[in-house]
Amino acid sequence: MRKTLPLPLLLILLLAACRPDVANLDSPGRTIVCLGDSITAGVGSGPGQSYPDLLAARLGTEVINAGVSGETAAEGFARVDQVLAENPWLVIVELGGNDLLRRVPPEQTELALRGILDRLVAARVVPVLVELDAPFGGRYLEIYERLGDEYGIPVVEDAIGEILRDRELKSDSIHPNAEGQKVLAEAIAEEIEPLIKARRKA
């Protein structure tokens, strides 16, 4: 005869299955920080139209914009202490586009991103990577999935590529306009909203 699990145990297992399996959800941090380049900074869109601004409005919480135009992954790594000074529990990392434009070897880009992730994880922060699925991205495309798998962290896939392939979502050849920022904000929100809910239940 088939045995059924007691109802309380079944409910516990179902809740565990729905909860994102991401480390550091018990982080003592209090803020959300967006570490990135000109896309994060909002170049190409108007005031209040960057994806960190849109996330803040959607989530009803402060989201700190730590985007610096022109920044490479290595330069972002050099600013991790500044990011940690904001007492984050979650950091969205959007870097690598300028590495591609400047032809930084992908191995160096990956090393810098690993450095960022190592620092964030060690500081009990939840990292979220934004994938650089740019046209002609070549070996850069492989970095984000590999890091997501190895570190067990969420990766926002396809959003950058969708924007870069659609003229109506760009202000120039590489920067999202206001509509493009909305697309990116939506994709990121879909990744982090389950984390926020799981954190509240933890």
Task: Tell me if 17 is assigned to some domain.
Answer: no
Q: How far apart are CA 8 and CA 16, in angstroms?
A: 12
- 113: pLDDT strictly greater than 50: yes
Strand-pair category, 31-36 with 88-94: parallel
The active-site residue, picked from 21, 81, 172, 173, is 172
pLDDT at 55: 98
Picking from 2-6, 48-52, 150-154, 169-173, which range would have the lowest pLDDT averaged per residue?
2-6
Answer yes or no: 50 catalytic.
no
Q: How far apart are CA 94 and CA 39, in angstroms?
A: 8
Answer yes or no: 21 catalytic.
no
The active-site residue, picked from 27, 99, 133, 175, is 175
Count of structural domains, the chain: 1
**Residue of 180, 145, 198, 193 whose CA lies nearest to 51:** 180
pLDDT category, 114, cuts 50, 70, 90? very high
Q: How far apart are CA 97 and CA 144, in angstroms?
A: 12
pLDDT in tens, 115-151: 999 999 999 999 999 999 888 788 998 999 999 999 9
What percentage of the chain reaches a pLDDT higher than 90?
Answer: 84
The active-site residue, picked from 38, 45, 53, 133, is 38
Answer yes or no: 172 catalytic.
yes
Give whole-number Cα distances, 22 to 126, 142, 202, in Å. 8, 21, 12
**CATH number, domain at 169?**
3.40.50.1110
Task: Tell me if 7 is assigned to some domain.
Answer: no
pLDDT in tens, 144-173: 999 999 999 999 999 999 999 999 999 999
**Residue of 154, 176, 178, 151 whose CA lies nearest to 165:** 176
Task: Tell me if 174 is assigned to some domain.
Answer: yes
Region 14-27: what's the mean pLDDT? Answer: 68
Residue 39 belongs to what domain range? 31-201
